[in-house]
Each structure stands twice: as structure tokens, then as C-alpha cells.
Amino acid sequence: MWNAESLGREQIREFLKSSQGIELAGCGRNEKYSWVEDVLKAQNYGKLSKGERGVVRAYVEKVTGMSTSQTTRLIRAFLDHGVVKTAPYQRHRFRTQYTPEDIALLAEVDRAHERLSGPATRRILQREYAQYGNKQYERLAKISVAHLYNLRASARYRNQAAVFEPTRPTAVAIGERRRPDPHGRPGFLRVDTVHQGDWDGAKGVYHINAVDTVTQWQVVGCTSKISEVYLLPVLEAVLAQFPFTVLGFTSTTARNTSIIEWRKC
């Protein structure tokens, strides 16, 4: 409809009678409120009688699709202020007790004391204000331990208290490929494995050669297969033949050679 807000009251009555099965709706809230304001102004709503107001009210509800309570609220706003407009959303905000300067001061205290526990830090803040008279600690001196942790979890605190350190290389030699360093002591062995070779399709044996690094004492063993079941008894027999305590050995054929501690009972 064109100029729907400027219809006369008789035209409005005819519209309400002839459109009982029609449901109309506006585009958006701002458009609806603006149209309602135009209708109330055009009809001079404040000077209408009670019956005429009911006709205009029903007309507004029909065209906009709003409920009776919402229409009543908009009409009341028009009568009180002369306009119909949306109320801006106002989020409730609590008053900020601790300022950005307080958070920066807390970060400075934590850096100086290597970030102690909450109760210990709170005690430091209280002493700074009560015992040493430092006025900048006045608000922090009253902070609770729980809220102290809340401030530590804030983004502002993390930005000021973050300390970045480069990755430190580990000093533990894990899987390091190196020869033993006996320092002149016997008991450090070098173990090597030699395959004898196959003969007429038959699998040959493996020779286990163990040599002491310092004394060159040598013991040779033999096994049919390189596996734990076959190799362990041979190694035990080889190590038992050395006249000194075996402190460690290294295998030059292992995939990841490492120094292995082996002590005789």
C-alpha cells in the first residue's frame, strides 16, 4: 500500500473489516518503528478519543504484525517523547577495580621474585604498602589470592610478564655413535660379528669376536643365528672368559651403536 500512514479513520475501519484474513509485516524493526511514528503523527493520536485510539491501535498491530503489548509500549513512548525509536543496547559493565598500571606493577613484582605463589605474592604487595608506604601498591594490597590469579591469566598481564628463552639443547647423549674412552682401564670391549658364509644352500654360522680396548684380550664365540635366543648365551659365555670386570662394550655392527654398561656379578 502507498501512503498507508495517512489513511483516514473511516478508511482504516474499512481496511480492518476487509482484511481479516491478511497478515502483513514490515521489513525490519527500524522501518516498523518509523512507520508507527508516522501513523501516530498523521492521525494526531494524542487528541483522539478512546474509541478512535482503539481503531488506530488495531491498524498498527495489523500492518506491522506486532503484539498488543509491544504496540502499547511504542504508543506510550510516542506520547511521552513524541518519537518511536529503538533503544540502544547497553551492556552492563562492572566498574574496573584494578587499572592497567596495577597489572603492570604485578607483572614487575612477579619478574623480580620469579613468580611466587599467590599467598606469598599477596603478602609482598601488602608489605610494600603497609610497611614501606609505597602508594602505588594501595589497590594491589587489598587484592584477594583468587583475583590475583585472575589478573595473571589476563592477556595484558601475559603480554607484559612473558619471558622468552631459546630452546636449550639437551646434554644427554642418546644413541650417540662414539667409541669408548677407557682412560687406560681394562674392561671396555669392542664386539664385532662376522658371517662365515653359506655352503651348498646351508646357512653359515656367525662368529662373535670380543676384544678388550686396552689389553687386547680377545675371546671368539660362535652362533648359528643372530637373534636374542641364540646370541645371549654366547655373549654370556664370551664375557665370562675375560679375567677382569667388564665395564662396557660397543658393537661396531649395530645399527645404532652405543656404550652399554655390563657388570659381572
pLDDT single digits (tens) 135-156? 999 999 999 999 999 999 999 8
Separation between Cα atoms, residue 191 and residue 244, nearest integer Å:
16
Mean residue pLDDT across the chain: 81
pLDDT at 264: 40
Final residue in a domain of this structure, among 30, 51, 81: 81
Residue 218 lies in a domain: yes
Residue 44 lies in a domain: yes
pLDDT at 21: 47
Which tens digit of pLDDT belongs to each residue from 67-122? 889 999 999 988 888 888 877 777 777 778 889 999 999 999 999 998 999 999 99
Mean pLDDT on 148-171: 82
* Same domain membership, residue 242 and residue 213: yes
The answer on pLDDT for 25 being more than 60 is no
Residue 245 lies in a domain: yes
The domain of 42 spans: 4-81
Mean pLDDT on 183-210: 84
The answer on pLDDT for 34 being more than 80 is yes
Residue 167 lies in a domain: no
Separation between Cα atoms, residue 232 and residue 195, nearest integer Å:
17
* Same domain membership, residue 105 and residue 77: no
* Same domain membership, residue 65 and residue 37: yes
| Confidence grade of residue 255 (pLDDT, cut at 50, 70, 90) | very low
Task: Return the higher-pLDDT residue of 3 and 17.
Answer: 17
pLDDT at 29: 82
Residue 88 lies in a domain: no
What is the residue-wise DSSP string for 146-168? HHHHHHHTSHHHHHHH----PPP
* Same domain membership, residue 252 and residue 196: yes
Beta-bridge partner residues of 209:
192, 220
Residue 181 lies in a domain: no
* Same domain membership, residue 50 and residue 113: no
Final residue in a domain of this structure, among 161, 177, 196: 161
The total of structural domains in the chain comes to 3
Residue 112 lies in a domain: yes
Mean pLDDT on 6-14: 73
Final residue in a domain of this structure, among 161, 176, 209: 161
pLDDT at 163: 65
pTM above 0.85, yes or no: no
* Same domain membership, residue 59 and residue 21: yes
Task: Return the higher-pLDDT residue of 119 and 6.
Answer: 119
**Residue 74: helix, strand or coil by DSSP?**
helix
Instruction: Round to the nearest angstrom and report the end-to-end CA distance of the chain.
Output: 106
Residue 94 lies in a domain: no
